[in-house]
């Protein structure tokens, strides 16, 4: 051992403790003496060989000390840096402070790192040196533990509870393990050389500080006196029991414990734990007539053992927490305890924790595994709690199957899936989150995932499946828990082989490239090993990352018929993430349906079967109230819109009772189309989405010019897309052969007033056609292919008995109705009212939180987003707002505009999303313009 | 690397960054793992499908570093955590609201603690009309005045006292919880 090295340790202590360090090394070397002479009490027998198992043990112990010191120093650094919130370098001027502690410990570990290599030689000198160094580590660690708390606080004042505790515990652990190892070294040497005359090297008592003396005594278990009188058996036993009561049950049955047990005729069974042996010794002691009392002293302030080392004279009993630790009977129970709230709160407080119990358990499991594999000597160096470390050590010692235990550690956190969250708010919030996500995603998926996790604990927890796990995992979720074999995947084994090749062979690339398309659709069920394909509807291609799942579907995607692509116009910038167009397959398009183009001229395009109102589709012979019907259709906007139209005509019939027929016939058209040709049905909001009318007008009227003169249908051709389908062709056929000739005849007969009536752009297609039919009857022009509206059907219309007056009863009283609607939002427009009210609740204008723009503008942002979202939805579902609703929305957005201006003037910005204030205002203006445009169609 | 533990840890870290959302982060994160996977699969089917071939040849660690996987995983975790945070805020606000009302009334109406069940059904207008000096109605009326003053939220004239007190306090708590720390 060089003086230089001891000197550096000495300097380190001086810098750390602010105490006068020992003036000479701990182990006195007499002037002129050789290293061999410094341990003259050791009587060496033949030179040990490197293969000596005891020497190996010594080497291992020293190595553990070195590794522990190095790793712990890094742990301390990490912990403190975490607490300080940023990495920093401790050196130079801060050497006397915390940086010195950390760096010093690192230096120390470097200093000792040469020991194992030297010890391989097995010479007396080297062993002696190693012993000293190990003792030096222990002593220095003790000083570090003592110095660290105050130095840490002095340095920054910010070191959190965790960092401090971790550092304390880690340093203390270094000390205690050094102690253990030093004892092992002593015992090892003694056994190896066949002598019991092991004693510490000569020390010079005057050079040992008062504080150090008990520390050394505690650490090494020997007195500093060179010729300390030998204690008798009972005294040794008493000393041992006292020591245990002060410092806790040892981690394992040491040689010293075995020796004392043997002295007292105590047999140690293979199943005995250290606690058992101590209990036997205690009984023995009591039997011998001397009352032994547990020594009760105040509990140390920290559960780490640092205070115990610093103040060995203080006696302690186990706290409740420590008792809990020692009462764990298996590693599984101990790990469970570590994950408990009790442990976490105890160790880290109830606030923010840098390390969780679960993580700690995981660290333990990793270290145990490493220890088993030999890559890490000591698995529990990282436990900043001596009691816990001791217990873990004890359990590991008694465990027969480490490997399984490691696995259990890994899966532990998932085994306790349903029992963790205790706090009421957290519990409810978790449940609600899970429910909402479950509702918003694929129903049943959560259950599948949960079931899979439960049934595959080992895979899910231990992660031993390595790279294959994740793809399989996802594949499973993608495919669901299907046990069915996909008929479109020719051979499961082949597919597995392909995957394997992809992983391991050089041919993988070829295979992969050659079958990329196929593989992308092929997944493996991790449970069954079955492969299956994931197929998505054709429409998924236009909606990336947003499609529900479809599995076990045929591999071949059936050819889709022609579809309408509805462009989404005027989409605000912030919705750019949304698809710019959507693919919509109309109901009437069915690839299986044969298209007939050979209808007779007189045959209508619709069936001549008796028509039923929409209610009859569900329950043909039962009638419902209007409100019931509305509730019934509330989830289907398209059907609801259709139903509203039925109501409209049913109501209108009463008002036009004088000539009755037009309205009844209009209703007939609408209801019939509702059931048979739903896409022909114009939307609830007039002049919108009349795709069929567009075709009708453009192809048959505008292009031919035959109808322009008498029937202006400007409002009916406001969509610029085409549509196809059997029904349309049927309609065209019927139009060309029946309606068109009739209108040509009518053109010469109807009055100017009637022409204007037909040119009413606000009327629906049904109204228009009904008027044509009405005029045809009036002027004796036959229109072929019109089925009769039976009395029974008319009666059904009347039986709806609408309970409330709709806005659009007739054009005559529209203004009044609009006013009525404007006063109260409908179910289509309530969101605007809610948003404004919500904003008001947030104290707009007078809240002390006006500076919080996100808080303040949140409802407004939602209001703007909601408008465009609904618009998009309406375009897809081909319906729109009523006039009254538009008027109402106009008022609401004008109110929003006023508030936005107000916010601008009182110093608070009106901000929506990522837009600037001006751009945000433009968003509102844009909506107002859009509403105006829609209102224009009603003019 | 254990994928589920990895996700759990990521959730936990994400929740840690937020304002207090319970101390039981480990357990919460554990319970939310399936939800993250649901969102992941539901919202990012295409990406998963596209990345399937690529990630088959990667180790678990590398998979999580794969740009696409990392992106969609982070997005899914963020979505779930956002939802959880909102739920937690709402629930804890509601619980706090109930506690505030309960505690206030325990002091306010200690002579007749059960009278609240009747009083809370009264509208603000009715309460004003019945607020005879020394009566429970008056006590509650004064208490409502304090809430109005403290929260800045005014009761509607026809709103029941019970609804108003809950609405005002919850709204106030929500406004508090929205303020950046």
3-state SS track over A683-717: CCCCCCCCHHHHHHHHHHHHCCCCCCCCCCCHHHC
Alpha-carbon gap, residue A463 to B45, rounded angstroms: 23
pLDDT of residue A927 exceeding 80, the answer is: yes
On whether the CB atoms of residues A668 and A789 are closer than 8 A, the answer is yes
Question: How many Cβ atoms sit within 10 Å of the Cβ of residue A850?
Answer: 17
Under a CB-based contact definition with an 8 Å cutoff, are residues A388 and A165 in contact? no
> What Cα–Cα distance (Å) separates residue A209 from each residue in A17, A21, A22, A206, A217?
12, 8, 7, 7, 12
| pLDDT of the residue at A574 | 27
Q: Is the pLDDT of residue A37 over 50?
A: no
Three-class SS string for A450-509? HHHHHHCHHHHHHCCCHHHHHHHHHHHHHHCCCCCCCCCCCCHHHHHHHHHHHHHCCCHH
**Cβ–Cβ of B60/A426 closer than 8 Å?**
no
Q: What value does the mean pLDDT take over residues A635-648?
A: 53
CB contact under 8 A, A429 and B22: yes
pLDDT per position as a tens digit, A657-699 = 334 443 444 444 443 333 332 233 333 333 333 334 444 444 3
Residue B78 exposed, middle or buried by CB count within 10 Å (0-12, 13-18, 19+): middle
Mutate to test the interface with B, among A470, A515, A854 (most CBs of B within 10 A): A470
Please enumerate in sequence order all residues whose Cβ is within 8 A of that of A31, keeping only pairs 6 or more positions apart, or say none. none
Closest residue of B to A477, CA-based? B41
- Average pLDDT in the A721-743 region? 54
B81 CA: distance to closest CA in chain A (Å): 9
When pLDDT is cut at 50, 70 and 90, the band that residue A608 belongs to is very low
pLDDT at A332: 58
Give the bridge partners for A241, in sequence order.
none
Q: Report the residue of chain A nearest B51, measured CA to CA.
A: A520
Compute CA A430 distance to the chain's CA centroid, rounded to the nearest angstrom: 11
H or E, element range at A600: none
Of residues A191 and A381, more confidence is placed in: A191
The residues with which A531 forms a beta bridge, in sequence order, are: A524
The ipTM is 0.84
- Nearest CB to B56; choose among A425, A502, A536: A502
More confident residue, A79 or B84: B84
A457, closest residue in chain B (CA to CA): B4
Identify the pLDDT of residue A504: 39
Please report residues of A whose CB lies closer than 8 A to that of B88: 425-426, 429
Question: Most confidently modeled of A388-402, A488-502, A739-753?
Answer: A739-753
């392909």: which residue's tokens?
A498
Does position A859 have pLDDT exceeding 70, yes or no? yes
Chain B CA closest to residue A847: B152
Q: For residue A5, what is the enclosing H or E element?
A: helix A3-17
Q: How sure is the predictor about A6, in pLDDT bands with cuts at 50, 70 and 90?
A: very low
In chain B, how long is the greatest CA-to-CA distance? 80
Average pLDDT over every residue of A432-436: 81
Number of Cβ within a 10 Å radius of residue A516: 10
Q: Are A552 and A505 in contact (CB under 8 A)?
A: no
Residue for token digits 């060089």? Answer: A2
Q: What is the pLDDT of residues B100-158, one digit of tens each?
A: 888 777 777 766 767 788 888 888 888 888 888 878 888 888 888 888 888 888 888 88
Supply the pLDDT for residue A76.
52
A260-277 pLDDT, tens digit per residue, is: 787 777 777 777 777 777
Residues 54 to 93 of B: which have CB under 8 A from any A CB? 55-60, 62-63, 72, 80, 83-84, 87-88, 90-92
Cα dihedral sign, A545-A549-A554-A558: negative
- Report the pLDDT averaged over residues A319-347: 62
Q: Is A357 on the interface with B (CB under 8 A)?
A: yes
Site from B17, B31, B86, B179 to mutate, A interface, most A CB atoms within 10 angstroms = B31
Q: Which residues pair with A523 in a beta bridge?
A: A532
Nearest 10 degrees: CA dihedral of A439, A445, A450, A452? 180
Q: How confident is residue A3, by pLDDT bands cut at 50, 70 and 90?
A: very low
* Residue A464 or residue A368, greater confidence: A368
User: Is residue A868 scored above 70 in pLDDT?
Assistant: yes
The reported pLDDT for the residue numbered B128 is 84
Of the candidates A675, A686, A682, A638, which has an alpha carbon nearest to the alpha carbon of residue A793?
Answer: A675
Q: Residues near A286 by Cβ (< 8 Å), separated by ≥ 6?
A: A292
Instruction: Give me the residue from B8, B23, B180 closest to A350, CB to CB.
Output: B23
- Provide the pLDDT for residue A840: 65
With CA atoms as reference, report the closest residue to A785 among A747, A739, A729, A740.
A739
Average of per-residue pLDDT values in chain A: 50
Provide the pLDDT for residue A458: 42
Q: How many residues does chain A have?
A: 939
CB contact under 8 A, A478 and B41: yes
Question: Of residues A243 and A507, which shows the higher confidence score?
Answer: A243
When pLDDT is cut at 50, 70 and 90, the band that residue A228 belongs to is: very low
d(CA A921, CA A572): 13
Tell me the per-residue pLDDT of A89-103, one tens digit each, with 9 for 90 and over: 444 444 344 444 444
- Residues in chain B, overall count: 181
Query: Residue A911 region, left (φ>0) first, then alpha (ψ -120 to 50), else beta?
Result: beta
Q: What is the pLDDT of residues A162-215, one digit of tens each?
A: 344 444 554 554 444 444 444 555 554 454 444 333 333 333 333 333 333 343
- CB of B49 less than 8 A from some CB of A: yes
Q: What b/e string do you get for B113-128 counting C-beta neighbours within 10 Å, with b at 16 or more?
A: eebbeebbebbbebbe
CA–CA distance, A432 with A424 (Å, rounded to integer)? 12
Q: What is the pLDDT of residue A854?
A: 58
């Amino acid at each position: 051992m060089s003086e230089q090295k001891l000197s550096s340790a000495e300097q380190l202590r001086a810098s750390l403790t602010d105490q006068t360090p020992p003036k000479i090394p701990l182990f006195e070397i007499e002037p002129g003496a050789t290293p061999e002479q410094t341990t003259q009490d050791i009587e060496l027998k033949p030179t040990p060989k490197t293969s000596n198992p005891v020497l190996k043990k010594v080497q291992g112990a020293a190595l553990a000390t070195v590794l522990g010191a190095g790793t712990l120093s890094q742990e301390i650094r990490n912990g403190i840096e975490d607490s300080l919130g940023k990495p920093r370098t401790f050196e130079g001027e801060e050497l006397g402070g915390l940086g010195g502690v950390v760096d010093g410990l690192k230096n120390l570990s470097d200093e000792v790192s040469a020991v194992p290599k030297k010890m391989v030689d097995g010479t007396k000198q080297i062993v002696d040196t190693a012993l000293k160094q190990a003792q030096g580590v222990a002593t220095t660690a003790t000083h570090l533990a003592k110095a660290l708390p105050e130095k840490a606080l002095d340095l920054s004042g910010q070191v959190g509870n965790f960092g401090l505790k971790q550092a304390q515990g880690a340093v203390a652990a270094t000390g205690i393990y050094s102690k253990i190892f030093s004892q092992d070294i002593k015992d090892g040497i003694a056994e190896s050389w066949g002598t019991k005359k092991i004693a510490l090297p000569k020390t010079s008592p005057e050079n040992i500080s008062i504080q150090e003396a008990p520390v050394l005594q505690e650490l090494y278990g020997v007195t500093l006196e060179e010729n300390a009188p030998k204690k008798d058996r009972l005294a040794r036993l008493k000393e041992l029991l006292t020591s245990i009561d002060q410092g806790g049950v040892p981690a394992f049955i040491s040689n010293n414990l075995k020796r004392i047990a043997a002295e007292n005729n105590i047999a140690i069974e293979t199943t005995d734990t250290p606690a058992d042996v101590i209990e036997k010794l205690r009984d023995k002691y009591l039997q011998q007539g001397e009352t032994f009392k547990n020594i009760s002293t105040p509990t140390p302030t920290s559960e780490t053992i640092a205070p115990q080392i610093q103040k060995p004279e203080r006696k302690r009993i186990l706290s409740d927490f420590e008792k809990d630790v020692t009462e764990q009977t298996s590693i599984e129970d101990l790990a469970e305890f570590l994950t408990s709230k009790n442990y976490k709160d105890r160790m880290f407080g109830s606030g923010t924790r840098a390390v969780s119990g679960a993580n700690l358990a995981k660290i333990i499991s990793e270290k145990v595994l490493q220890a088993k594999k030999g890559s890490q000597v000591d698995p529990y160096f990282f436990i900043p709690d001596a009691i816990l470390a001791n217990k873990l050590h004890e359990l590991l010692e008694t465990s027969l199957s480490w490997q399984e235990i490691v696995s259990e550690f890994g899966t532990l956190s998932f085994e306790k899936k349903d029992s963790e969250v205790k706090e009421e708010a957290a519990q409810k919030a978790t449940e609600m989150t899970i429910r909402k996500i479950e509702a918003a995603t694929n129903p049943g998926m959560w259950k599948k995932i949960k079931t899979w996790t439960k049934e595959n604990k080992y895979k899910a927890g231990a992660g031993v499946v390595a790279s294959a796990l994740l793809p399989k995992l996802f594949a499973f979720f993608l495919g669901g828990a299907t046990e069915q074999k996909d008929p479109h995947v020719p051979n499961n084994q082949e597919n597995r082989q392909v995957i394997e090749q992809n992983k391991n062979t050089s041919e993988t690339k070829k295979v992969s490239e050659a079958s990329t398309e196929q593989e992308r659709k092929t997944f493996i069920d991790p449970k069954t090993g079955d492969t299956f394909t994931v197929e998505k509807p054709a429409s998924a291609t236009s909606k990336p990352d947003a499609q529900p799942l479809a599995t076990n579907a045929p591999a071949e995607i059936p050819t889709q018929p022609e579809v309408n692509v509805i462009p989404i116009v005027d989409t605000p910038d912030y919705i750019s993430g949304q698809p710019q167009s959507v693919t919509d397959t109309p109901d009437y398009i069915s690839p299986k349906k044969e298209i007939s183009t050979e209808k007779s001229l007189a045959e209508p395009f619709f069936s001549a079967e008796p028509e039923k109102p929409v209610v009859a589709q569900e329950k043909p012979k039962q009638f419902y109230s209007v409100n019931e019907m509305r509730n019934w259709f509330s989830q289907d906007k398209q059907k609801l819109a259709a139903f509203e139209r039925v109501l409209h005509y049913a109501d209108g019939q009463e008002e036009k009772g004088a000539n009755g027929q037009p309205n009844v016939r209009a209703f007939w058209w609408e209801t019939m189309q509702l059931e048979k040709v739903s896409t022909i049905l114009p939307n609830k909001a007039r002049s919108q989405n009349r795709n069929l009318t567009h075709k009708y007008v453009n192809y048959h009227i505008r292009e031919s010019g035959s109808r322009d003169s008498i029937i202006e249908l400007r409002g009916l051709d406001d969509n610029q897309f085409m549509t196809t389908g059997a029904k349309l062709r049927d309609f065209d056929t019927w139009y060309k052969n029946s309606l068109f000739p009739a209108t040509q005849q009518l053109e010469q007969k109807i009055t100017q007033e009637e022409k204007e009536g037909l040119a009413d752009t606000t009327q629906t297609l049904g109204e228009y056609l009904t008027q044509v039919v009405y005029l045809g009857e009036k002027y004796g022009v036959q229109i072929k292919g019109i089925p009769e509206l039976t009395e029974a059907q008319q009666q059904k219309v009347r039986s709806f008995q609408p309970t409330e007056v709709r806005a659009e009863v007739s054009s005559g009283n529209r203004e009044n109705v609009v006013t009525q609607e404007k006063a109260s939002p409908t179910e289509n427009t309530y969101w605007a009212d809610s948003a404004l009210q919500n904003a008001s609740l947030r104290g707009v204008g007078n809240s002390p939180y006006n500076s919080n723009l996100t808080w303040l503008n949140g409802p407004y942002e939602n209001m703007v987003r909601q408008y465009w979202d609904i618009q998009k939805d309406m375009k897809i579902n081909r319906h729109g707002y009523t006039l009254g609703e538009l008027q109402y929305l106009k008022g609401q957005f004008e109110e929003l505009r006023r508030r936005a201006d107000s916010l601008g003037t009182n110093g608070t910005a009106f901000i929506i999303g990522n837009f600037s204030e001006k751009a945000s205002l433009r968003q509102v203006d844009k909506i107002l313009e859009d509403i105006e445009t829609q209102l224009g169609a009603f003019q | 690397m254990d994928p589920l533990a990895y996700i759990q840890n990521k959730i936990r870290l994400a929740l840690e960054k937020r304002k207090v959302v319970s101390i039981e982060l480990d357990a919460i994160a554990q319970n939310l793992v399936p939800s993250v996977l649901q969102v992941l699969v539901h919202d990012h089917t295409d990406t998963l499908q596209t990345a399937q071939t690529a990630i088959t040849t990667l180790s678990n660690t590398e998979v999580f570093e794969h740009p696409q996987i990392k992106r969609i995983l982070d997005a899914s975790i963020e979505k779930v955590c956002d939802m959880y945070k909102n739920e937690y805020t709402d629930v804890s606000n509601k619980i706090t609201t109930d506690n505030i009302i309960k505690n206030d009334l325990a002091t306010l109406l200690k002579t007749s603690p059960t009278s609240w069940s009747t009083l809370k059904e009264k509208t603000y207008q009715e309460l004003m009309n019945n607020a005879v000096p020394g009566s429970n109605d008056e006590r509650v009326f004064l208490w409502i005045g304090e809430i109005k003053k403290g929260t800045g939220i005014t009761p509607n004239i026809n709103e029941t006292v019970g609804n108003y007190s809950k609405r005002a306090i919850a709204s106030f708590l929500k406004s508090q919880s929205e303020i950046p720390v």
